Structure 1
Amino acid sequence: MNPIRKVIDSIHRVADGDFSVKVNLKGIGELEELSESFNKMTNELSGIETLRSDFINNFSHEFKTPIVSVRGFAKILKENSLSEEERQDYLDIIIKESERLAMLSSNVLTLAKYENLEIMMDKVPFRLDEQIRRSIILLEPKWSDKDITINLDLDKVIYSSNEEMLQQIWINLVDNAIKFSHKAGLIEITLANVNEEIHFSIQDYGVGMDEHTKAHLFDKFFQGMLLIPKKGMDWDFLW
């Protein structure tokens, strides 16, 4: 009865919210199968809990600025001393910030889904190189507007994943490279099969990152601060 007691004790711990608990029953086939199923269940529950907590944290962090902006300009619109031109300008800001909120909510959900690979669904094989090309075409107005040249060196690669979610990653990476590239700059993108591994590289020649920014490169929602020198001793700060 000892193995059954261990399972019962573990179930009580899961019921109390401890999703890190694992059972390791050996010797009897059915009990080993029970162990595997139980541990898979706790892994899934842990992933769901991570989705929940990450969404709450990301929501409060990333959504604060546009919400404050919308509230502030809405209060200003209640004043009677504003000209019609000022009212239209403030309404345009509120509309843009509302659209930004909608985009942020979509991005946070996509990020949370993609980080929990164990519960990712709808994996299908597709041409990774063609997906990267499509992502670049979608951003054509942005890199054309800055007269940026994009050099591609893409091997044919077939990959199995959630196609829609992975495309969002390429769009974010390319969009970021465009954003921080100088006008008439260059972006180089490569995709290669190397010893049965997939290697992807994207390189721009823009403003670059300081050591502090590099140290936080993979922290969620971290944004580096750029110092842009102007004439004399004045500096512009760009986040």
Structure 2
Amino acid sequence: QISTPLDGSTQSGDYVYVNGSVLSGSENGDILVEVSLNPDVLNQTLADKFQQMNQGKYNSTNNLCDSSTATTECVSTFSMGLRLEDLYTNQSQVHTIWVKIVEGNGQNWVLWKEITINLVPVVNEDPCVADPKADGCSDTETQTGDGEEGLGSMLIYAGIAALALIIVVLATLFMLRMRKGGSADVEGFGGVEDMDPAEAYVQQLISQGYPEETARQYADQYASHFQQQ
């Protein structure tokens, strides 16, 4: 007798467990119960069944007997799990558990049973919805990215402002230097228009590197030459 799962029951776990017991008719402890999600597997070789068992799609138990004759080597109850984890989708699914009950060598008595189960739809909920601040969540990454981007923008603006300030300072210094140089030139030549031609000639020669004494000698010769004319 299969006690669970009930036919038409709803499943939501990673595994479904087929539970039952032998009520009567097996005093020799030679009952074999096999379960699978694929009926073809129940008729395959032991090697194929073993492969399906490793994948969780087949299971079996043997040496079952009546509860009245149960021993440590012969039990009357069984529980076998089948893997459902990879069968869930975003839509409801209906699957069948196939049960094969064999007594002895299977020549005299074989019983087949079917159990229909309903798999609930699975919503792939983003874990970050429940905890946006969890590691790896986009909210944390976005906040970090926004912070880094904001810091980068501030640094760029600060750099531009500093460059503009440097340009203004350099331009101001340049203008002041130009004004200062112009004033020096004016001061250097200030009063030239008030000098007589000879003295102006002396100052011109001195500015060209001549000694003052030599410059005045040249100026005197220059003045004498024009006076003779």
TM-score normalised to structure 1 length: 0.23
Higher relative contact order (CA 8 A, sep 6+): 2
More helix by share: 1
Higher CA-based Rg? 2
More strand by share: 2
TM-score normalised to structure 2 length: 0.23
